Structure 1
């Protein structure tokens, strides 16, 4: 019989136990004869597509990051290009100290082919500078599609200089998928090693992967950001909110006093301004409904959870909070709803009111496209 002392699930990093099937880390005793140790949750995610969500402690995961400042290591921050602001880790500079930082901007495949990579990379550097961080480099990639993985590998190797590498990021940025791609490219894994799923919190503890020089590549649990829409949607409906294919921009020529509903999750009121286009960069599966502002409240009350969905269960979201946005018309701007997407506006003045559940981040930024 294999002893469980210090044994951890090779898929999510959690400590294994055989005593309680209802607790995380459970593995049936008969499974201890296998070559790969997977907790029941990881096994079911991989083989049956189950959600396997668990209760998480965001503060505990953030405190784990504080340990990095004491390590001699390279820090690789994996971000989501589609939800860059929402995939940022609060207080990152303080948590990692003066450790060298590489930013890997994932999900490049979601952007239309017309978008230039150089422009995206410049945009990421600009936002990083505004946040007071100066990474050694920024690399764009798509872990899901396996794009630019060689470039990620080469950049990590050139920057780590014989040190451990810590991969950090918020939930749903694709850290574990990226690691699986790196291992595959290096010829060290023919199939998925780290458990991945589209649901937040799949990795539960640090997973240490030995390198050839005695150092480690460490995958850390995703940091939970409760100010993102994607954290509040049910696992079943998350597939409609998180894009999985190249975004098809949807353009709406709006007159003032018109409204756009983004499913039953949020609403966009064009209160005042000249007729102008608004380009919606949201999941292709998310339904957008246009109506007159004077009818918006009645339609919202009658059709939310039905025509306007997700969510089907209205109790999963907090009441809506209004965000007033005044576009000055001096530059192209994006109106960002964290965890949902953004609406691109042109160089026209506009008074916008965005309604989103309480606590969800709503902001503006220089246009990414």
Structure 2
């Protein structure tokens, strides 16, 4: 066992004894890694080179125990959330973990938002939602790891609020945290892709420290597993399909009352009462939507889920949670949000229902566009 050696990809302690445990590295790979200065565990090596993900035996409690340490230090907490899945990417009870430390709330993946969405309106909504969750951030900002200027602006904000202290980056799995940190390292030190990144939940397994010039550190923490994320119900291929990587193109559907719109086999939107109008879906450009009659929608779903309605795929249907219904009476222009999937904008008063896998949120908000 080599306790002092850490994987630079996920932060886990390197060990050469048990291939089924975290941090395993074959002895030959360990020697090569020490020679090159790039020491990765086998899991990170496979993820980086072959895009393979291996299960790990860390529990949700292990992740939360690491988070608990944050309240005992004097630091700036940078909480990264996915603006495409804001509710699904808030850490439950984060305000209790951080103690008196200031929190900078960062909405990631801003590059996928439609250009018609006004950023100040989104930031205001994020502030309101975080306050409802008990969090009082010192500032709220939007960013994207794909835009250099965004990273420069984020670094300025971090420097403004850290006041010489360490910085802890926290977030649930799949919010793009490691990609963001890699870009920060690349711009600051000219080093590419130090931390393992992937679209699969739970990539960073332990604390990873990146030093600042003044002796303080930027610390990447494990992604907290939020079981009510859509990502946890999807296979590898479908996670890529559902998680947008390019600007979302709005899709307009003219629907009468008594009609249903399926978002693959993952969610469903019913128009129960109201005049015919154009509903606008903001979801991944790769996700196939299907319109049908409300009266026979449940039977249609049973017959076609895993086939015409994908994801989930045919071999995943048996393990996929049932869809749960949420009904709303809408009085003004409103977004109906499927956590982790996107939203449907409802332009006029009507009665609608949204269905999502059991445990995944369906909420309404004042329309952002």
TM-score for both structures, normalised by structure 2: 0.94
Question: Equivalents in 2 of 1:253, 1:47: separation in Å?
Answer: 45
Question: Equivalents in 2 of 1:114, 1:281: separation in Å?
Answer: 12
Structure 1: gaps (5+ residues): none
1:20-55 superposed Cα distances (whole Å, 9 cap, x missing partner):
222221111112222111001111111112133435
Question: Equivalents in 2 of 1:242, 1:140: separation in Å?
Answer: 18
Match of 1:325? 328
Question: Equivalents in 2 of 1:55, 1:239: separation in Å?
Answer: 24
Tell me the CA shift for residue 300 of structure 1.
1.2
Question: Equivalents in 1 of 2:167, 2:228: separation in Å?
Answer: 28
Contact 1:253 1:275 (C-alpha < 8 Å) held by counterparts: yes
Tell me the CA shift for residue 115 of structure 1.
2.3
Contact 1:320 1:357 (C-alpha < 8 Å) held by counterparts: yes
Match of 1:364? 364
**Is 1:13 paired with 2:14?**
no
Match of 1:70? 72
State how 1:329-344 maps to structure 2 within 5 Å.
329=331, 331-344=332-345
**Is 1:162 paired with 2:160?**
no
Question: Equivalents in 1 of 2:214, 2:309: separation in Å?
Answer: 54
SS of residue matched to 2:174: coil
Question: Equivalents in 1 of 2:9, 2:123: separation in Å?
Answer: 32
Contact 1:233 1:316 (C-alpha < 8 Å) held by counterparts: no
SS of residue matched to 2:290: strand
Tell me the CA shift for residue 188 of structure 1.
4.4
Question: Equivalents in 1 of 2:201, 2:298: separation in Å?
Answer: 32
SS of residue matched to 1:237: helix
- Which of 88, 92, 99 is equivalent to 1:90? 92
SS of residue matched to 1:252: strand
SS of residue matched to 2:84: helix
How many residues align structurally? 363
Q: Once superposed, what is the RMSD of the aligned Cα atoms?
A: 1.6
Match of 2:43? 41
TM-score for both structures, normalised by structure 1: 0.94
SS of residue matched to 2:20: coil
Contact 1:255 1:270 (C-alpha < 8 Å) held by counterparts: yes
Q: List, as ranges, runs of 4+ consecutive aligned residues in structure 1 with deviation greater than 4 Å.
A: none
Contact 2:21 2:57 (C-alpha < 8 Å) held by counterparts: no
SS of residue matched to 1:291: strand
Question: Equivalents in 2 of 1:351, 1:299: separation in Å?
Answer: 22
Question: Equivalents in 2 of 1:116, 1:293: separation in Å?
Answer: 33
Question: Equivalents in 2 of 1:181, 1:106: separation in Å?
Answer: 13
State how 1:1-369 maps to structure 2 within 5 Å.
4-33=2-31, 34=33, 35-189=37-191, 191-312=192-313, 313-327=316-330, 329=331, 331-348=332-349, 350-369=350-369
